[in-house]
Structure 1
Amino acid sequence: MAGMSAPTDQGGLRARKKQRTRAALIDAGLDLFLTKGYDATTIDEIAAEVEISSRTFFRYFAGKEDVALAKGDEFDELVLEALSARPAAEPPLPALRHAMLAMIHEAAAGDGVRRFLQVQHLINKTPALLAGNLRRAAGSEERLTTEIAARQGVDQAHDMRPRVLVGMVCAGLRIGLETMCADPRRDLERLVELAEEAIDLATAGIPQRWGDDPHTW
């Protein structure tokens, strides 16, 4: 019986090795972008840092933009998973708010607040990344909207409330992060505090529970 598990073990080892290589490429790429600048960094340089070929690099990423935005992609997935895991009876605003703030805390705690903010600043000051990040954000908002609509049992084609809610929460988060980038403090509690404050300001007019009329809250 022991021998039967070997292929599975090997598959698990390969998956973990691939994940480690992917994480190493992201870290190496971000280090180079922050040190040399995004435009001046080449794919060959990123690959060399991880001691793989440029050809192997393309097994993980389509290009260096994907490396720069990878942390954002991971964050989007975590928020969607966290929202899906919230209790079904929880109203949409607190469900999304809790999911978003919990994942901000987790992401910044894992990478360190300074690193987290450095990546935000890198994206904001690099036109090519800013455009790519807007595309990423739009896709994330679409998936969150679909999840909120499903939780509420409404048709998002005829009910704008899920889209408006998600748009306001995401706008609040973006403003909170921009405010944090200009804040002299670099601690996790301050980051979450500003994100929470901005989200609450952005959604101040949205009630927790919605009525039956799709044209009003």
Structure 2
Amino acid sequence: MSTEPGLRERKKERTRAALIEAAADLFGRKGYDETTVAEIAAAADVSTRTFFSYFRTKEEVLFVDNAERLRIAQAAVRQRLPGERPVDVLTRTAQQVLTTDTFASELFVRLAPLRVRLILGNPALQGYALRLLLSGQTELARGLHETFADELDEVIAAAMVGAFIGAMVAVVMQLFAEVPDPEQAILVDQDHLVAELRRGMAVAVAGLAAVGDQPAPR
């Protein structure tokens, strides 16, 4: 009896993974708008009703790994180790995201270039991605401000998070925009991606070094 919940959870995870794989394959071959929920469900050998028990929309499937990375970042940015400055916390937060299993997974390598290609060609997805980005930035900026309430006001915290995330998003967009076929994503291997993201982080850190010289207006 004690093994039943574990078996049930594993089955649910397999179904979820099958839906994600089916969606990625159909989005890549047919396009985002041309793919229906019914087709994704059929390709995963489940009912449409089952699809909606895992995902509310097609967008959620395409951005399925976003929530976990945001959860990790939110937890990290609310920690303050001895001697850390705000830029140190952001750097550590980014490094934790880069080394998480979610970021390093085959799923991310498969979905990241597909997302970039679909976003660049679909205004509706651009809007969805922007809403996710702004929501995530707002949460992280709030966390950074609360962590350094004695040093940062809300405006500077928001500017710092925006600069940091903006640099990393720009690197990902640039790298994967150069990969027209998602199946060629392997050309952007994980080590290269992480190295380039660290370069982007270095640029952001250099720019944020002047934050201490920006007092709040009176």
> TM-score with structure 1 length normalisation?
0.80
* Residue of structure 2 in register with 1:73 after alignment: 67
What is the rounded CA distance, in whole Å, between the counterparts of 1:209 and 1:165 in structure 2?
8
Amino acid at match of 1:138: L
* Residue of structure 2 in register with 1:190 after alignment: 192
Q: Is the 8 A contact 1:29 1:46 kept in 2?
A: yes
Q: What aligned pairs does 1:1-217 form with structure 2 within 5 A after superposition? A: 6=2, 9-84=3-78, 87=81, 89-106=83-100, 107-111=102-106, 115=110, 116-154=112-150, 159-181=154-176, 186-207=188-209, 210=212, 213-215=215-217
Which ranges in structure 2 are unaligned for 5 or more consecutive residues?
180-186
Q: CA deviation at 1:196?
A: 2.0
SS of 1:39's equivalent?
coil
Q: CA deviation at 1:39?
A: 1.0
Which ranges in structure 1 are unaligned for 5 or more consecutive residues?
none
SS of 1:99's equivalent?
helix
Q: CA deviation at 1:64?
A: 0.9
Q: Is the 8 A contact 2:26 2:40 kept in 1?
A: yes
What is the rounded CA distance, in whole Å, between the counterparts of 2:80 and 2:16 in structure 1?
29
Cα RMSD of the aligned pairs, angstroms, is 3.0
What is the rounded CA distance, in whole Å, between the counterparts of 2:49 and 2:129 in structure 1?
25
Cα distance per residue 1:84-142 (max 9 Å; x no partner): 46636522212222322442354453127752323333233222211111111111111
SS of 2:105's equivalent?
helix
What is the rounded CA distance, in whole Å, between the counterparts of 2:106 and 2:82 in structure 1?
31
Q: Is the 8 A contact 1:92 1:148 kept in 2?
A: yes
> TM-score with structure 2 length normalisation?
0.80
SS of 1:190's equivalent?
helix
User: Structure 1 residues 124 and 111 mapped into 2: Cα distance closer, same or farther (>3 Å)?
Assistant: farther
Q: CA deviation at 1:46?
A: 0.8
Q: Is the 8 A contact 1:179 1:194 kept in 2?
A: no
Identity in percent: 30
SS of 1:144's equivalent?
helix
What is the rounded CA distance, in whole Å, between the counterparts of 2:150 and 2:4 in structure 1?
45
Aligned length: 209
What is the rounded CA distance, in whole Å, between the counterparts of 1:155 and 1:29 in structure 2?
45
